[in-house]
Amino acid sequence: MTHDLAQATAPDLDLIERLACEAVEALPAAYRAPAAAVLLRVADLPPDDILDEMEIDDPYELTGLYEGVPLPEKSVMDQPVQPDAIWLFRRPILDEWVARGDVTLRELVTHVMIHELAHHFGWSDEDIASIDPWWE
Protein backbone atom coordinates (compact mmCIF):
# COMPACT_ATOMS: atom_id res chain seq x y z
CA MET A 1 0.00 0.00 0.00
CA THR A 2 1.37 3.43 -0.86
CA HIS A 3 0.56 6.64 0.95
CA ASP A 4 0.15 9.93 -0.84
CA LEU A 5 2.22 12.15 1.43
CA ALA A 6 1.25 15.18 -0.60
CA GLN A 7 -2.28 14.68 0.76
CA ALA A 8 -1.24 13.82 4.32
CA THR A 9 -1.78 16.11 7.29
CA ALA A 10 0.24 16.31 10.49
CA PRO A 11 -0.98 14.14 13.37
CA ASP A 12 -3.38 16.25 15.41
CA LEU A 13 -4.07 16.59 19.14
CA ASP A 14 -6.85 14.00 18.97
CA LEU A 15 -4.49 11.37 17.55
CA ILE A 16 -1.89 12.03 20.26
CA GLU A 17 -4.63 11.71 22.89
CA ARG A 18 -5.95 8.50 21.35
CA LEU A 19 -2.46 6.95 21.27
CA ALA A 20 -1.89 7.94 24.91
CA CYS A 21 -5.21 6.38 25.94
CA GLU A 22 -4.30 3.20 24.06
CA ALA A 23 -1.01 3.13 25.99
CA VAL A 24 -2.99 3.24 29.24
CA GLU A 25 -5.31 0.48 28.02
CA ALA A 26 -2.25 -1.69 27.26
CA LEU A 27 -0.87 -1.39 30.81
CA PRO A 28 -0.88 -4.40 33.12
CA ALA A 29 -4.33 -4.73 34.74
CA ALA A 30 -3.15 -3.52 38.16
CA TYR A 31 -2.17 -0.12 36.73
CA ARG A 32 -4.93 0.45 34.17
CA ALA A 33 -7.64 1.96 36.38
CA PRO A 34 -5.32 4.15 38.50
CA ALA A 35 -3.61 5.42 35.32
CA ALA A 36 -6.96 6.15 33.68
CA ALA A 37 -7.85 8.29 36.72
CA VAL A 38 -4.99 10.69 35.92
CA LEU A 39 -6.23 13.65 33.89
CA LEU A 40 -4.73 13.69 30.39
CA ARG A 41 -4.07 17.06 28.80
CA VAL A 42 -2.74 17.35 25.26
CA ALA A 43 -1.54 20.68 23.91
CA ASP A 44 0.54 21.81 20.97
CA LEU A 45 3.22 23.36 23.20
CA PRO A 46 3.83 23.71 26.94
CA PRO A 47 2.14 26.78 28.45
CA ASP A 48 4.45 29.66 29.32
CA ASP A 49 3.82 29.29 33.07
CA ILE A 50 5.07 25.69 32.96
CA LEU A 51 8.15 26.67 30.97
CA ASP A 52 8.87 29.54 33.38
CA GLU A 53 8.40 27.34 36.45
CA MET A 54 10.73 24.68 35.02
CA GLU A 55 13.19 27.30 33.72
CA ILE A 56 12.99 25.89 30.20
CA ASP A 57 13.71 28.33 27.38
CA ASP A 58 12.95 26.07 24.42
CA PRO A 59 9.37 24.67 24.46
CA TYR A 60 10.49 21.89 22.11
CA GLU A 61 12.59 20.36 24.91
CA LEU A 62 9.49 19.19 26.81
CA THR A 63 7.45 16.33 25.36
CA GLY A 64 5.48 15.52 28.50
CA LEU A 65 4.98 16.48 32.12
CA TYR A 66 3.42 14.93 35.23
CA GLU A 67 1.71 17.38 37.57
CA GLY A 68 0.71 16.00 40.93
CA VAL A 69 1.89 14.15 43.98
CA PRO A 70 3.32 10.69 43.23
CA LEU A 71 1.21 7.90 44.72
CA PRO A 72 3.97 6.71 47.10
CA GLU A 73 4.11 10.22 48.58
CA LYS A 74 0.35 10.78 48.97
CA SER A 75 -1.18 10.87 52.41
CA VAL A 76 -4.82 10.60 53.42
CA MET A 77 -4.20 13.85 55.28
CA ASP A 78 -3.38 15.69 52.03
CA GLN A 79 -6.24 17.60 50.51
CA PRO A 80 -5.86 17.62 46.72
CA VAL A 81 -5.69 21.10 45.22
CA GLN A 82 -6.15 19.81 41.69
CA PRO A 83 -6.29 16.38 40.07
CA ASP A 84 -3.06 14.66 39.08
CA ALA A 85 -2.47 15.32 35.40
CA ILE A 86 -0.21 14.28 32.58
CA TRP A 87 0.52 16.76 29.84
CA LEU A 88 1.62 15.62 26.39
CA PHE A 89 2.94 18.25 24.00
CA ARG A 90 2.23 17.47 20.35
CA ARG A 91 4.77 19.66 18.55
CA PRO A 92 7.80 18.56 20.63
CA ILE A 93 6.66 14.93 20.29
CA LEU A 94 6.36 15.31 16.51
CA ASP A 95 9.77 16.99 16.33
CA GLU A 96 11.38 14.13 18.27
CA TRP A 97 9.54 11.56 16.13
CA VAL A 98 10.83 13.11 12.91
CA ALA A 99 14.35 13.58 14.29
CA ARG A 100 14.55 9.95 15.41
CA GLY A 101 13.09 8.52 12.24
CA ASP A 102 13.33 4.99 13.65
CA VAL A 103 10.21 4.69 15.83
CA THR A 104 6.51 4.88 15.14
CA LEU A 105 4.47 7.73 16.51
CA ARG A 106 2.59 5.16 18.63
CA GLU A 107 5.87 3.94 20.15
CA LEU A 108 7.02 7.46 20.98
CA VAL A 109 3.69 8.59 22.49
CA THR A 110 3.54 5.36 24.51
CA HIS A 111 7.11 5.94 25.73
CA VAL A 112 6.36 9.52 26.81
CA MET A 113 3.11 8.45 28.49
CA ILE A 114 4.82 5.59 30.36
CA HIS A 115 7.60 7.93 31.46
CA GLU A 116 5.07 10.38 32.90
CA LEU A 117 3.07 7.58 34.53
CA ALA A 118 6.32 6.42 36.13
CA HIS A 119 6.41 9.73 38.02
CA HIS A 120 2.80 9.19 39.15
CA PHE A 121 3.29 5.60 40.31
CA GLY A 122 6.84 6.08 41.63
CA TRP A 123 8.17 3.33 39.35
CA SER A 124 11.82 2.33 39.38
CA ASP A 125 13.80 1.92 36.16
CA GLU A 126 13.18 -1.83 36.47
CA ASP A 127 9.42 -1.25 36.76
CA ILE A 128 9.48 0.94 33.65
CA ALA A 129 11.55 -1.63 31.74
CA SER A 130 9.01 -4.34 32.53
CA ILE A 131 6.19 -2.22 31.06
CA ASP A 132 7.80 -0.22 28.24
CA PRO A 133 9.71 -2.26 25.61
CA TRP A 134 11.44 1.00 24.63
CA TRP A 135 13.86 0.27 27.45
CA GLU A 136 14.99 -3.11 26.10
Residues 25-53 have pLDDT tens digits of 999 999 999 999 999 999 999 999 999 99
Q: What is the pLDDT of residues 58-114, one digit of tens each?
A: 999 999 999 988 877 777 776 667 889 999 999 999 999 999 999 999 999 999 999
**Residue 59: closest CA among 25, 23, 87, 31:** 87
The structural domains of the chain, with segments of one domain joined by +, span 10-69+82-135
SS3 content of the chain, % helix, strand, coil (to 5): 55, 10, 35
Judge contact between 17 and 40, C-beta under 8 A: yes
What is the reported pLDDT for 42?
Answer: 98
Report how far residue 72's alpha carbon sits from residue 30's, in angstroms, rounded to the nearest whole number: 15
Distance between CA 21 and CA 85 in Å, rounded? 13
Can you give the pLDDT at residue 60? 97
Name the pLDDT band for 2 (thresholds 50, 70, 90): low
Q: What is the pLDDT of residues 106-120, one digit of tens each?
A: 999 999 999 999 999
Q: What per-residue string of b and e applies to 73-89 under the rule 16 or more CB within 10 Å gives b? A: eeeeeeeeeeebebbbb
Which CATH entry fits the domain spanning 10-69+82-135: 3.40.50.300, 3.20.20.150, 3.30.2010.20, 3.90.420.10?
A: 3.30.2010.20
